[in-house]
Amino acid sequence: MLDSQNLGEIDELKSQIQQLKTNEENFQQITENIKEVFFIIDSQTDEICYVSPAYEKVWGRSCKSLYESPQSWLLAIHPDDCSEAMGTLETQFRTGEEFQEEYRIIRPDNSICWVRVRAFPVRNLEEKVDRFVGIAEDITLRKNTETALRQTEEHFRLIFEQASIGIAVTNLSGKFLKVNPAFCQMLAYSEPDLFASTFKNILQVGDDKIHRKIIDRLIQFRQVEDQLEVCCQTKSQEIIDVLLKIVVIYDEFDQPINLQYQLIDITDRKRMEQQLVYDALHDPLTELPNRVLFTDRLMRAIIRCKARNDYCYAVLFLDIDRFKVVNDGLGHLAGDELLILVTKRLLKVLRPIDTIARFGGDEFVILLDEDCDRQTAIQIADKLQCSLDNHFEIEGNRIFVSISIGITLSTNQYERPEDILRDADATMYKAKDKGRARYEVFDESLRAAALNRLKLENELRTGLLQNQFCLFYQPIIDVESLEIKGFEALVRWFHPVHGMVSPSDFIPVAEETGLIIALGEMIFEMACQQLTDWHQEQFDLSHLKLSINLSGKQLMDPHLLGVINRVMSRPNIGSQRIKLEITESILLEQDYQAINVLNNLRESGFEISLDDFGTGYSSLSYLQRLPIDTLKIDRSFIQKIQHDVQNKNLAIVQSIITLSHAIGLNVIAEGVETQEQLDKLATLGCEFVQGYFFSPPVDSVRASEFLRKRIIEM
Ligand code: C2E
Ligand code: MG
Ligand code: MG
């Protein structure tokens, strides 16, 4: 029988058992559900007393296999970590101290897992360690992250160390915290130098202020980076151009903590840019400003002049007289040297505020800036001319040069640089016309002439579009037979308001403006059309030549041969019907290129006439070298032979004719107006004549009548 005490004990026991069960259940729930491995090891026998099921997942082996073979725990350790892990284990087991270690294990499927094992001694009543309880956890993820982090850090360290751009980190006051070798090298400072300094010290004063402002703005608007170009000073006081990137580093609370700077040395690029800008604005030969730069400065002067009553300036247009002669005579190198030497002399006369520019060729333009009234401008022009009084010594030759100067004074009416330049240019030409080596000051009459010219240019354009041009023909007569041997085609402009305008008035403008190219083509076209018409009207053209005038501009036009070939491609007219007249000044002014073109034309069958002979500078001996067939003696000689008491002009004409014949040229005398002139020319053996005595230039109807009769009846 159980008494109540026994019953109480039983209840007590029952509740204890219940408690134990609960405890075990709790323990089981913990150990079975936590991913860490719990274990208990007997420190005497090394036997595994308990291992939680998580072991199977971490080690990839069954718990049973571990109970059966406790060594399998150790055998799973990675060979590289094995000796260290075993060492720790042995020592700790011996000393009975708590321990912790990390090592890799190899699972049966060869996957590798990092584990951290911690074990704590459990002491019995006699304070002896008889067991270790422990916990092992899979730390593979953490380890991998650590490795990746280490690799990234290493990577960044390498980038920082080996970067070719300079990188520095400073605190917000600019104190250097970190600098890379490129940064030190760029500024020629050592690391300790920089650590003792601040970023401000390497910047130029102005740039420091700008850079500070940028940082303040970045921080104010919570921005990260910006970049700018600055100048830095190296330790050796050298200034380098730098592209500077500023990065603000914020902490996790979004507070700025440091600054990172990235520097790229752009000194070379900057220098190149500066060189390019310089080249774009300067003449390579003399290093003087060119037209672009000059025009810019002149524009500023124009604006200033409009704004200030007391401001006046002057523009001087300079041209070296007969530069062509030196250039052609001594060669281009000598010509270049002369330009450089002239530049030096001119520069000596000018004040620092003045600008002298070379506009190409032998043209110089000067802007006399600030307080330059008429008198000052004239004084300076005088000095410029005097500066060339002494000769130049080039390649052993003594060369004397003079300049012609056109002066234009400021008025507040000028709006555009090209207007002043146009006036100065026109004035310079006036100085040339008046005999060179002098200056002229622009006045209203010149302005009127310039305006007229501008008007004429516009009217010429309209005239071309509206076909206001036609050809007149002046007969060329054989002196012996008085038969018509040819015509000279002379252009006429029927202006809607002014009536017939003389070519002497508009050809020069057409040449200057380039309109002569279009006009010349039209003339060639009309002349050939006339030949075609005559051919169709059954005229015998076999002994006839039509002379067409070619201007220098046309001769230098690269399309000339193409145009002529196109026009000549029409049937029934060949190049042998055409003579091309060029003036001797063209041959003097143009270089060998012109001669080449003439040779080409002659090879195509055209004859070449040298027009207005005697008005230029060419000597008779020079003629021999020219690709020409005929020489036209200028009418100024012909007109003088009649009243020439000393027979001086007669002698000249005679020698021209004799020499021409000697070198196989025909001679045409232009401007024959009287019987007397004709008789004298006949005695001198001149073959052909042309002039009012026979007929003025006539329209095509009259010309056709002449052609029908073939002989000029007087
Ligand atoms: P040029 O080629 O020397 O032409 C001769 C000029 O002398 C013509 O003047 C003609 O009318 C003029 N003349 C002819 N006989 C006499 C005379 O007995 N006495 C006087 N005082 N003058 C005479 P024009 O037609 O006024 O032409 C003037 C210049 O214009 C030409 O001189 C030529 O250089 C140029 N020209 C004319 N037509 C053309 C053309 O179609 N193309 C080009 N490029 N220039 C042309
Ligand atoms: Mg002519
Ligand atoms: Mg002539």
| Predicted confidence (pLDDT) per residue in 132-168, tens digit | 999 999 999 999 999 999 999 999 999 999 999 999 9
Q: Are 260 and 169 in contact (CB under 8 A)?
A: yes
Query: What is the number of the ligand 1 atom nearest to the C-alpha of 548?
Result: 41
Collapsed DSSP state (helix, strand, coil) of residue 345: helix
Q: Report the distance separating Cα 390 and Cα 323, nearest Å.
A: 16
Domain with CATH 3.20.20.450 in the chain: 464-709
Q: Give the residue, by CA position, lying nearest to ligand 1 atom 38.
A: 490
Dihedrals phi, psi of 579, to nearest 5 degrees: -115, 140
Q: Give the residue, by CA position, lying nearest to ligand 1 atom 4.
A: 490
| C-alpha neighbours within 13 Å on the C-beta side of residue 683 | 8
Confidence category of residue 46, pLDDT binned at 50, 70, 90: confident
Please give the pLDDT value at position 78: 95
474 CA distance to ligand 1 middle (Å): 9
Query: What is the number of the ligand 1 atom nearest to the C-alpha of 502?
Result: 26
pLDDT beyond 60 at 345: yes
Q: Give the residue, by CA position, lying nearest to ligand 1 atom 15.
A: 691
- In residues, how long is the chain? 714
- The pLDDT mean for the chain works out to 91
Task: Name which CATH class applies to 282-442.
Answer: alpha beta
Nearest ligand atom owner, CA of 489: 1
Q: Please indicate whether residue 296 or residue 649 has the higher confidence score (pLDDT).
A: 296
Confidence category of residue 445, pLDDT binned at 50, 70, 90: confident
* CATH number among 3.40.50.300, 3.40.1280.10, 3.30.450.20, 3.60.70.12, domain 31-139: 3.30.450.20
Nearest to 410 by CA among 536, 299, 559: 299
Least confident of 185-199, 252-266, 485-499, 590-604: 590-604
Collapsed DSSP state (helix, strand, coil) of residue 621: helix
Domain with CATH 3.30.450.20 in the chain: 31-139, 163-271
CB of residue 673 inside a 6 A radius of ligand 1: yes
Q: Are 133 and 39 in contact (CB under 8 A)?
A: yes
- Give the torsion sign (CA, 49, 53, 59, 61): positive
CB of residue 195 inside a 6 A radius of ligand 1: no
Q: Give the residue, by CA position, lying nearest to ligand 1 atom 45.
A: 549
Question: For the structural domain made of 163-271, what CATH number should be given?
Answer: 3.30.450.20
Q: Report the distance separating Cα 211 and Cα 207, nearest Å.
A: 6
If residue 71 lies in a helix (H) or strand (E), which one and from where to where? helix 71-75
Query: What is the number of the ligand 1 atom nearest to the C-alpha of 489?
Result: 41
pLDDT in tens, 560-600: 999 999 988 877 788 999 999 998 777 765 566 788 899 99
Nearest ligand atom owner, CA of 486: 2
* CATH number among 3.90.1150.10, 1.20.1270.360, 3.20.20.450, 3.60.20.10, domain 464-709: 3.20.20.450
Least confident of 205-209, 286-290, 402-406: 205-209
Query: What is the number of the ligand 1 atom nearest to the C-alpha of 673?
Result: 18
| pTM of full prediction above 0.75 | no
pLDDT in tens, 319-342: 998 888 788 878 889 999 999 999
Domain with CATH 3.30.70.270 in the chain: 282-442
Ligand 3 is an ion; residues with CB less than 5 A from it: 611-612, 670
Confidence category of residue 644, pLDDT binned at 50, 70, 90: low
* Structure letter (DSSP) for residue 576: G
pLDDT beyond 60 at 601: yes
CB of residue 614 inside a 6 A radius of ligand 1: no
457 CA distance to ligand 3 middle (Å): 24
